[in-house]
Structure 1
Amino acid sequence: MENLDLARRGLRRSATFDPATIFDIQRAAETGIYDIRGGGAKRPVPNFDDLLFLGASMSRYPLEGYRESCGTDVVLGGRNGANPLHLDIPVTIAGMSFGALSGRAKEALGRGASEAGTSTTSGDGGMTPEERGQSKQLVYQVCPSRYGMNPDDLRKADAIEVVAGQGAKPGGGGMLLGQKISERVAGMRTLPQGIDQRSSSRHPDWTGADDLAIKIIELRELTGWEKPVYVKVGASRTYYDVKLAVNAGADVVVVDGMQGGTAAAQSVFIEHVGIPTLAAIPQAVQALQELGLHRKPDGVQLIVSGGIRHGADVAKALALGADAVSIGTAALIALGDNDPRWDAEYREIGSAAGYYDDYQEGRDPTGISTQDEELVARFDPVAAGHRLANFLRVLTMEAQTIARACGKSHVTHLEPEDLSALTVEAAAMTRIPLAGTNWIPGDSSTGRL
């Protein structure tokens, strides 16, 4: 009714200066500081919803779901003779730090991943005993900050992930505000308790691909040449970054699109830096194909992250050429983040269930993204871990259902030919023909059926 009354008075909202933009300008003018928040990009960008699968009918034959199997296992990281990770499902847990998350939340991630037969990742700030103890397969992140970096923990890990960038903030460092730097977090990171800290935007001991190659050799020597080495990049100049990472010696490349979340970063980074996950995957695949390493027994595997929500997203990423996907925000929601049961308390801190992204504040009523002991005590890592395992199983079953419908006996057999694009933007980004046509924007050889 209010909008109708405004319209009757001839008042219209500006498409450029909408209420949210006006509020941001007013907040900046009053405080003199830029906005910091968690989560991922909220602006609409081309995404997996802009693709559809072409299920089998006559020209293709589907598999019978109750009679014919569809594999989901994946092997990651055997290129350079290391002991690869054997996962039951093509969905892994992304790196989320202890500090950003509570110790119990890290434990729950390990429990859920292990129950579902996949790996979890340490994140910035080091390895917690809870996570290592509950993770059958754990990837240890080597981040620019070096917070919590411990050679003994490197040797305890099953794989190493060198983080060169993150999708929510490629080219930018992370943040952990003082209210989340508890005595334990400070001890692990060798930081003063209660003081804001900012992670580096680049590694202190290398500035390019040649230095990265030296660093990877150092990490291999430190761990007896047993651990696969991943390199993670934030999606921006993806084609070149993937080639450089592979030439430096990466066994696995992780590409994180701009829909990927973060515990805390400048809002201007989250919304305006990087490219969508949908645009990044084909560039990464092209780079690996040109190197002759895409989906080969001795090749380099591609993990994609940033905005994965359900089994259809998993299947589409695999069809575009990924070997596996990684989830972060969806995993936290599965644990209980943004649970409506806590809506009243979310509203007390100025948010609401389903909208909460103030992870940097350390006041999460679920006990997930906080170091407040009273809030953390609410969180049950055993029950939450089981919830995550259920979610991972559903993602996998949904991907299997789609793969069978396309006549595939393994989810990684899905291919671009199984897809069609709903929008011109998605068709151009993925090089998938627009639905109902054979046209790929920018490709003059297409357009006729």
Structure 2
Amino acid sequence: MSHTFPQHVIAEIQERARLGRYGVRGWGAMRRLPDFDDLLILTAPAGRQTGDAHREPCRTRTVLGTRHARDPVVLDLPVTIAGMSYGSVSASAKEALGRASTMAGTSTTTGDGGMTREERNAAKTLVYQLTPARSGFDPDDLRVADAVEIVLGQGARPGAGALLPGAKMGPRVARKRGLPEGVAQRSPAYHPDWSGPEGLAVKIEEIREVTSWRVPVYVKLGAARVAQDVELAVTAGADVIVVDGMQGGTAAAQEVFIEHTGIPTLAAVRLAADTLDRLGVRGEVQLVISGGIRSGADIAKALALGADAVSVGVAAMIALGCNSASDDTGTDVTADYRALGTAPGSCTACHTGGCPVGIATQDDMLADRLDPDLGAERVANYLRAITAETAMLARACGHASVHDLTPDDLVALTVEAAAMARVPLAGTTWIPGASDS
């Protein structure tokens, strides 16, 4: 078999030749990338372990937006729920995520399509996204949000606008977005009313005035030219920087973007943290990392590399019920996956609108398969579990808070991970690329 033209590449070429268009799908990059699994955590040496140090629980409290906001976002855990649009997922899914965030003591985030009443009522702490499309944007919604996130990019498709297939443009979504039913929406990649760092600074100032300087302003970046983009956002006045690596998920995007643009989350977190250090704003401007975060080990490693918090999207969807073989009524839905050309555990058909478990759909009959109460409980349980894992690992390193983790608590298993994370290769003191190595 040819390495350059294996069977799956041949199939892709044949499909493009037959249809005359590029592939679109959901989820994130499928290729193997350097990630947090390529790092290991060094627990505390015996000399640093004391009985007293382990009697108190490890602190997980996280504060975001301390730079300018009168009311920073205060969370019980260093994990937030990433932005997902009403349109890409159902109103029931948005409600369940809002309830879960409240139950766990964290925040959730809106997306293209604006804020739903179910989401606002369910979420104690809600971050309102300002996207290039301005779909469903309402200044009144912005004023009742607990933070505002200006989206400059997304890890699954940096440099490309959002895509909502016509199958998901149902009556309520269409009214919310001011568009015809059943017509696909291709959103712009860039904001229509400003450009460049000066324009971003003006937009941030406008948001502060509209919200009376009450809430933090986040800026979300798709991880590509991380150092330059983080510096731009900091200079423009952002309170919080959100960097989304290429493992970040999406409900629908061009496959060529998903697999061939951006950089891995592992590389992005250290670049972003080092840039904040260089600018002298570490601790003043908080850093949130997203893109393929799955476990407490991932969180601990991200925090050790300089993040203040992480955000989960695909993992939250899986906890909610995504890729399950049965829905919340207990019905086996394997046949519905098969009808989409996929199967439970490997479904990436979020873009079709035919989600068998009622999450990534606007079909009312399918959406009824998701019970918001059960879904919220599952997501909240997941958030609590990965936070407990993070705290256990931090405590094992001798820390009283998860935010005390540092790069000194890490080593790398591969040369690539050591170079990206700038931590030693396991068993050595060598950091590839470091001038003093």
TM-score when scaled to structure 2?
A: 0.97
Residue ranges of structure 1 left out of the alignment (5+ in a row): 1-12
Are 2:165 and 1:180 equivalent residues in the alignment? no
Q: Which amino acid aligns with 2:407?
A: P
Q: 1:66 Cα deviation (Å)? A: 6.7
Q: Which residue of 2 aligns with 1:8?
A: none
In the TM superposition, 1:44-443 aligns within 5 A as 44-61=32-49, 67-295=55-283, 299-341=284-326, 342-443=333-434
Q: Deviations 1:321-354 (Å, cap 9, x if unpaired)?
A: 0000000000000000000223332112210011
CA distance in 2, matches of 1:67, 1:54: 20
Q: Which amino acid aligns with 2:224?
A: S
Q: 1:281 Cα deviation (Å)? A: 0.7
SS in 2 for 1:205: coil
CA distance in 1, matches of 2:170, 2:223: 32
Q: Could you tell me whether the CA contact under 8 Å between 1:62 and 1:405 is conserved in 2? A: no
SS in 2 for 1:340: coil
Q: 1:14 Cα deviation (Å)? A: 1.9
CA distance in 1, matches of 2:258, 2:405: 31
CA distance in 1, matches of 2:48, 2:168: 54
SS in 2 for 1:253: strand
Q: Deviations 1:38-89 (Å, cap 9, x if unpaired)?
A: 1000001100000000112324327779722200001100211431010000
Q: Could you tell me whether the CA contact under 8 Å between 1:106 and 1:131 is conserved in 2? A: yes
CA distance in 1, matches of 2:254, 2:105: 35
Q: Which amino acid aligns with 1:329?
A: V
Q: Which amino acid aligns with 1:383?
A: L
CA distance in 1, matches of 2:162, 2:356: 23
Q: Could you tell me whether the CA contact under 8 Å between 1:63 and 1:405 is conserved in 2? A: no
Q: Deviations 1:114-172 (Å, cap 9, x if unpaired)?
A: 10000000111100000000000000000000001100000010000000000001100
CA distance in 2, matches of 1:349, 1:126: 28
Q: Could you tell me whether the CA contact under 8 Å between 2:340 and 2:349 is conserved in 1? A: no
Label 1:188 to 1:64 Cα distance change in 2 as closer, same or farther (>3 A): farther
Q: Which residue of 2 aligns with 1:10?
A: none
Count of matched residue pairs:
431
Q: Which residue of 2 aligns with 1:6?
A: none
Q: 1:224 Cα deviation (Å)? A: 1.2
Q: Deviations 1:190-245 (Å, cap 9, x if unpaired)?
A: 01110011011000011111100000001111111111100000001101111110
Q: Could you tell me whether the CA contact under 8 Å between 1:302 and 1:322 is conserved in 2? A: yes
Q: Which amino acid aligns with 1:345?
A: D
Q: Could you tell me whether the CA contact under 8 Å between 1:83 and 1:227 is conserved in 2? A: yes
SS in 1 for 2:46: coil
TM-score when scaled to structure 1?
A: 0.94
CA distance in 2, matches of 1:85, 1:33: 44
Q: Could you tell me whether the CA contact under 8 Å between 2:276 and 2:285 is conserved in 1? A: yes
Q: Could you tell me whether the CA contact under 8 Å between 1:177 and 1:197 is conserved in 2? A: yes
SS in 1 for 2:289: strand
Q: 1:291 Cα deviation (Å)? A: 1.6
Q: Could you tell me whether the CA contact under 8 Å between 2:155 and 2:262 is conserved in 1? A: yes
Q: Deviations 1:387-438 (Å, cap 9, x if unpaired)?
A: 0000000010000110011001000100000000000000111110100000
CA distance in 2, matches of 1:208, 1:230: 17
CA distance in 2, matches of 1:355, 1:236: 27
CA distance in 2, matches of 1:78, 1:351: 45
Q: Which amino acid aligns with 2:430?
A: W
